[in-house]
Structures are given as structure tokens and as C-alpha cells.
Amino acid sequence: MTVKSVFYSLQEVFPQIDLRILKAVAIEHPRDVDAAVEFVLSEVLPCISETKETSYTLNNTHDAEHSLANELHDA
């Protein structure tokens, strides 16, 4: 396989991941698409899901504080 073929395979399997990350993974695993997929599953996806959970929690906290402030102001 080539870097390009690994990259295209990763794009098909992981369309939600930034192309720059997939390109870096393809460069690190140019001849082994299985190793590239395993790397994405074990190293990239856990980081992405943690980031989304943190972002979601921070947004919910901000919304809750804003809502509470409005309720106190209206009372």
C-alpha cells in the first residue's frame, strides 16, 4: 500500500475525523492500513470523544448558570 491509499481508506472509515489527523496517521503507517485503523481507534477516537464531552459539559454549565442568573434577576 501507499500513503495515499491508506489515507483514502482512513477517510472512508472515519469521515468524522479531521483530514490532517488522518494524513498524519497515514504517513506514520504507510504500508499497513490495519495498523493505521488500530491507531485511530485506540489513540485518536478516545481523545476526540473526551474533547466533545468536555465541550458539552462546559456549554451545559454555562447555560445552566445563565438560566439561573435570569431566574434570579426576574424574581
Would you state the cell numbers that stand for residue 69, as one nine-digit string?
442568573
Q: What is the pLDDT of residues 13-53, one digit of tens each?
A: 999 999 999 999 999 999 999 999 999 999 999 988 766 55
pTM assigned to the model: 0.66
Alpha-carbon distance of 21 to 32, in angstroms, equals 16
Query: Given this model, what pLDDT does residue 2 score?
Result: 94
Q: Where do the structural domains in the chain lie, given as residue ranges?
A: 3-74
End-to-end CA separation in angstroms for the chain = 67
- pLDDT score of 53: 54
Residue 29's pLDDT is: 97
The SS3 assignment for 16 reads: coil
Residue-level pLDDT at 48 = 83
DSSP string, 8-62: HHHHHH-TTS-HHHHHHHHHHSTT-HHHHHHHIIIIIHHHHHHHHHHHHHHHHHH
Of residues 64 and 4, more confidently modeled = 4
